[in-house]
Structure 1
Amino acid sequence: MSYSWLPGLLAEIAEVAGLDAALALAAARGGTRVRIPAQADDDHWLTRCVGRKAADAICIHFRQGTNRPRGVYVEVPLGRAANARRVMAQALARGASAAEAARAAGMTERSAYRMRRRSRRGCDDRQGRLF
């Protein structure tokens, strides 16, 4: 199955360990740098996050082709959270209310208020708009 709609690393993990494991990893550690060990024990954060079978599959996948017995470091993408923030920013830019933007993005109204406040605070006409 193709997971091309996911960011690169999450698509790779979804191919190896399943979509649920990739999304759980993004939800738990998205936006951070983590160490994928050569082998995770039962008390390791990866095993607790995605389960034993998926953790073993992820460890084996990242262990292949490396001489690193301690594991490798990877940057876990945000996954759906990044897309939700993008949707909220676009809705707010179009003039939607905080409640409408929050519903469109699947986030809280408080997040919409914070995003609106930050966008007004950093308004610099010399800069281009990202969204």
Structure 2
Amino acid sequence: MSEDYSFLPPLQAEIATVIGLYATMKLAAEWGGCEIYIPAHAPNDHWLVRSIGREATDGLCAYFAARIEGDGRRAHHGVKITLPLGQAGSREKARRQAIELLDKGASLKEAARGSGLHQRTIQNIRAKLRNERAGASTALARKSS
């Protein structure tokens, strides 16, 4: 009988059935909200192995590896997934952290990891900041004319 992970978001629950709750929560805490690539096989120095260990990484890679038939050979490919968020704290605190990181020049992925928000949310925050700042610059230019 498998564990019941219905209290988790669907993708997290799916991952937990493969690698267990502890490794799933560790992965979410470190990479939640980020789009990550799960290879068909990860070498020993891969970030996944360093994050959740060899056994959990092997299980995750095997589970997500897409097997494509073609030319009489079977090729193994990985897959990109967006991990559900881990425990990120308050939403407003996370947004403030994201803005601070973006202002310091962080990439989308760095801002997502540092704030606990999805990369797509970071993209939206960055676009809104650019629009607001462009509008403020235009307003200042009009006042000084």
Question: TM-score range with shorter-chain normalisation?
Answer: 0.5 to 0.7
**TM-score, scaled relative to structure 1:** 0.60
TM-score by length of 2: 0.54
Mapped partners of 1:85, 1:4: distance in 2: 23
1:53 aligns with 2:55: yes
Contact 1:30 1:79 in 2 (8 A): yes
**1:7 equivalenced with 2:9 (yes/no):** yes
Q: How many residues align structurally?
A: 88
With over 3 angstroms needed to count, the CA separation of the structure-2 counterparts of 1:41 and 1:56, relative to structure 1, is same
Partner residue of 1:85? 90
Instruction: Indicate yes or no: 2:83 matched with 1:76.
Output: yes
Say whether 1:31 aligns with 2:38: no
Structure 1: segments with no counterpart, 5+ residues:
90-110, 116-131
CA-atom RMSD, angstroms?
Answer: 2.1
The sequence identity of aligned pairs, in percent, is: 48
**Structure with greater strand share of residues:** 2
- Segments of 4+ in structure 1 off by > 6 A? none
Spell out, residue by residue over 1:62-104, the C-alpha distance to the aligned partner (whole angstroms, 9 max, x if none): 11x53263310000010322xx326xx6xxxxxxxxxxxxxxx
In structure 2, the gaps of 5 or more residues are: 69-74, 98-145
Aligned counterparts of 2:55 and 2:81: Cα–Cα separation in 1: 20
Higher relative contact order (CA 8 A, sep 6+): 2
SS in 2 for 1:2: coil
